[in-house]
Amino acid sequence: MRNGLRRTRLSPESLWVLCLLLFCDGATLGLFTTPLLLTYGRFHPPWQVAVAGGLASAAGSGLQMLAVRALLDANLPWLRRLTPSRERVAAALARYPSASFLTILLARATPLPDAPLKLVAAAVRYPIPRYMLALFLGALPYYFALAYVGQRVKIPLLILFGATALIGLGILLDRWWRSRRP
């Protein structure tokens, strides 16, 4: 109980709401994962946030992988310059299939951006269930740590989402600045 109100399935503090938000975040740009985990760490045990959130996020990322594959299959010229040669990546994956699973797992276990890895996985048609499993397993320690910090350190929501907005703005400005260079 918090402030005399019980957390119901539909309350904003509900684990189901977190799962829905992480699913949507995983299916899109994934900008709000960290603030969501820090916030919901206040309301639920870290292991629950890690397991339920990891499953929801992996499911959303699986959906995103389907969308990225569809974009790649559309053979759009502007997308070709972002993707590696399919033959080259497929040959590397054939030689080291477990390394790719471990790479995806380790990338998810860190706060580093994994967009290039997603593009490679989509380009070589990495199996989506295996991709989702690697994401889930990698998310467990990372999500647990963030939920634990959120439980111990009460960071105001305004600061969490403000910092996320500033980081997003910084990324957009950096891309704009790079596109203007000759």
pLDDT by residue (tens digit) across 61-119?
Answer: 999 999 888 887 776 676 666 665 566 666 656 665 655 888 888 888 888 777 777 87
Residue 93 maps to a domain: yes
Residue 176 maps to a domain: no
Mean pLDDT, all residues of the chain:
80
Is the pLDDT confidence value at 8 over 60? Answer: no
Average pLDDT over residues 44-54: 94
> What's the chain look like in SS3?
CECCECCCCCCCCCHHHHHHHHHHHHHCCCCCHHHHHHHHCCCCCHHHHHHHHHHHHHHHHHHHHHHHHHHHHCCCHHHHCCCCCHHHHHHHHHHCHHHHHHHHHHHHCCCCCCHHHHHHHHHCCCCHHHHHHHHHHHHHHHHHHHHHHHHHCCCCHHHHHHHHHHHHHHHHHHHHHHHHCC
Q: Which residue has the higher pLDDT, 17 or 86?
A: 17
Is the pLDDT confidence value at 26 over 60? Answer: yes
Residue 171 maps to a domain: no
Residue 39 maps to a domain: yes
Is the pLDDT confidence value at 152 over 80? Answer: yes
Confidence of residue 50 (pLDDT cuts 50, 70, 90): very high
Residue 53 maps to a domain: yes
Residue 117 maps to a domain: yes
Q: Return the pLDDT at 82.
A: 60
- Residue-range definition of the domain harbouring residue 113: 15-155
Residue 90 maps to a domain: yes
| Structural domains of the chain, count | 1
Is the pLDDT confidence value at 5 over 70? Answer: no
Residue 178 maps to a domain: no
Q: Return the pLDDT at 4.
A: 42
